[in-house]
Structure 1
């Protein structure tokens, strides 16, 4: 029994943000029913690499869910789905604004069917505003919210981020959070609500420090010029002798003292008021004098806030990660299994959804008859 046991979620979304959100709900015990188009289903099913008939991406994001295959453009689609919507608690959709209304499943239309339904719309730019119908992907959202402009390489050009921050941190997780708020509010009022989740809107919180600085008149941050953008020797990435990298974050004085002592930094570069560029170069000269393994041995057991930059493979296989059991559950089918994706749910709330496979396309079409 999970905390969301008995909750029914009808998920019209595809690809990443909506499916990630409904995965979190499923893992907490909710019954999630994917609504997919016939023949092809969710586009994520066709991605590479494969695990059986579907992609690894689809298998990881849709474990423990059910699938209904139906053409939403058919005249009878609304009638077929009406009984399901009547008993649902949450609806998730990820189309551009206006698409669900044109299909007959907009908030106003489904509210007439089920006034208690929590209707969650996830979109790039939100349901209103001049950009609301502009096509975009994760890279566009991080570019237009100022995040990408603060992340630059040595040549000053923005660095392509390896994580899909807008989709997950700006879309999926805020959707889950607001769905839970809405369910709590429904307990009090008995009414559903329309949630407008904008992936771009939700990225601004990550640059709270820069926004605060700019709006207060202290100055807008510059790439490479601030504490967290590479403007301090106390928060920087340094190359080691063997071509690996040290992520050094000894910000507080006690950590800085330990760090500079271990790397034997000359005293003239320890003063925080000294020229930061010169200090960064001096630290870099010390770090490049040893290999990553040598620095790891020197820093082990010391309070220095330093890490060797890990590959993704190293991170997944880290003994600490194994001890935490992050990848202990598996997902898949007779065609193969792999570790299930860890989602940010406390272990006390996780249910057996971690062990159930992702659904075959249309495997739960009998629900249309019930």
Structure 2
């Protein structure tokens, strides 16, 4: 039995933030229909790299277990189709700029007249209000405006482009899922629907949990490489003799003691416990020098699985896939494809005691389920053919 069986979602989002959120819902058993345009194809569908059959790996992952319905939303019949669906698919997530869904007649106020219990989530870069509400942006823009990137860099150097999209996923996707599930609980208690306004910039701003709170409460503005967790102390990354890196996070005294002993520098423990900036700088300098005396494999042997010093190697993604911890957690799964083959994908990270994740299939072809969805809503084949001739869908 799936944990979210019974939840039905219409997904009007594209690219990464919304699709990642609805993938999480689909993994937990919700039924998700993607409402897509064939005139303006989601770029994720054509983003490399591709698998052996030419399927975008990102699309196969982000849109797994979802069905695809293509509609020309500017056509009046499409609006009526959506209103018919909303009677049953009573959760909507959309990612258009503010005002777009209203112009189409598919905004919250219009659709809640069809279904007062509707939960409707608008996910945008800057939110539905404020001077930036209509401004375009991407992950690095949101992180920059949210004050994250300035102190998340080396002193005197440019901010680093992240390998993952923090504002998009930690900001947009996860907060959308939390907001929608909270609205579901509220609806179960009261019978009321809800409109949810998620801004990726708002969410990224709230992630400044440690140093943002310090500035607001104490007036201490975080600076690059000067705080405890951004390189201002020994909590950092250290290069090995052969150009690889290890992460050192041995903040607590017991872990710090283990670190010093493993490095063969037990005498450094006292300096490491000092809060003086000069002592911290010296401690870090000593650690840096010691790491450069051995290569990656030699340090792996020192910091093996039994040494609990909060020191881990910086793995490549390929190495992470083979790591025994991630293997033991089942974090790579085979997801079926329509041709009988399968595609390896990352598993959902949420583990439930009484429910298993559902991986029905990889992301489908655009519009693959249009006819089946419409037939399931009670529309006749004759009507469907007529709509196709009228350009409601291809």
TM tier, smaller: over 0.9
Secondary structure in structure 1 of the residue aligned to 2:69:
strand
**2:108 alignment counterpart:** 107
1:133 aligns with 2:134: yes
Q: 1:90 to 1:260 in 2, by over 3 A?
A: same
Query: Which residue pairs with 2:282 in the alignment?
Result: 278
Q: Helix, strand or coil for the counterpart of 1:197?
A: strand
Bigger mean CA offset, 242-251 vs 296-305: 296-305
Task: Give runs of ≥4 in structure 1 deviating > 6 Å.
Answer: none
2:2 alignment counterpart: 2
Aligned to 1:318: 323
**In structure 1, what is the Cα distance between the partners aligned to 2:92 and 2:158?**
41
After superposition, what is the alpha-carbon deviation per residue over 1:33-85, rounded to whole angstroms, capped at 9, x for unaligned? Answer: 11011255433111112233541111111111111111001122211222111
SS in 2 for 1:227: coil
> Which secondary structure state, in structure 2, belongs to the residue aligned with residue 216 of structure 1?
helix
Structure 2 residue aligned with 1:152? 153
Matched, 1:251 2:251: yes
Partner of 1:345: 350
Q: Which runs of 5+ in 1 are unaligned?
A: none
Equivalent residue runs for 1:28-47 within 5 Å: 28-38=28-38, 41-47=41-47
Q: Aligned equivalents of 2:346 and 2:307: distance in 1?
A: 32
Matched, 1:287 2:291: yes
Partner Cα distance (2:308, 2:34) in 1: 48
Deviation at 1:314, TM superposition (A): 0.5
User: In the alignment, is the contact (CA less than 8 A) between 2:330 and 2:347 conserved in 1?
Assistant: no
- The answer to whether the aligner puts 1:359 opposite 2:364 as a matched pair is yes
- Return the alpha-carbon distance in structure 2 between the equivalents of residues 151 and 174 of structure 1: 22
Task: Pick closer, same or farther for the CA change 1:349–1:340 going to 2, 3 Å.
Answer: farther
Contact persistence 2:8–2:90 (CA under 8 A): yes
- In structure 1, distance between residues paired with 2:291 and 2:230: 19
Q: Which residue of 2 aligns with 1:299?
A: 303
Give the C-alpha shift of residue 334 in structure 1.
2.5
Distance 2:356 2:335 in 1: 13
Check the 8 A contact 1:63/1:331 in 2, yes or no. no
Q: With structure 1 as the length reference, what TM-score do the two structures score?
A: 0.94
Helix, strand or coil at the partner of 1:33: strand
Deviation at 1:271?
4.5
SS for the counterpart of 2:76 is: coil
Q: Deviations over 1:259-313 (max 9, x none)?
A: 1122133547444234122221121111111112212211222221001111111
What's the counterpart of residue 263 of structure 1?
263
d(CA) in 2 for partners of 1:102 and 1:54? 34
Write the distance in 2 (CA, Å) between the matches of 1:131 and 1:343.
33
Instruction: Verify the 8 A CA contact 1:63 1:353 in the aligned structure 2.
Output: no
Change in 2 beyond 3 A, CA 1:218/1:258: farther
Q: Secondary structure at the match of 2:112?
A: helix
Matched residue, 2:385: none
Which residues of 2 match residues 10-29 of structure 1 at below 5 A?
Answer: 10-29=10-29
Residue 363 of structure 1 and its aligned partner are, at CA, apart by 2.0
Hey, what's the Cα distance between the residues in 2 that align with 1:244 and 1:151?
A: 21
Contact 2:123 2:200 in 1 (8 A): yes
Q: Which moved more, 1:242-251 or 1:155-164?
A: 155-164
Quote the residue 1:368 is aligned against: 374
Kept after mapping to 2: 8 A contact 1:36/1:70: yes
**What residue is the counterpart of 2:94 in the other structure?**
93
Q: Rate the CA distance shift 1:78–1:270 in 2: closer, same or farther, 3 A.
A: closer
Q: Judge conservation of contact 2:155–2:224 (CA < 8 Å) in 1.
A: no
Q: Which residue is 1:172 aligned to?
A: 173
Gaps of 5+ in 2: 378-394
In the alignment, the residues of structure 2 paired with residue 53 and residue 84 of structure 1 have an alpha-carbon distance, to the nearest angstrom, of 32
Distance 2:360 2:224 in 1: 44
Q: Which residue of 2 aligns with 1:330?
A: 335
Does the 8 A contact of 1:81 with 1:368 survive in 2?
Answer: no
- Cα distance between partner residues in 1 of 2:36 and 2:354: 28
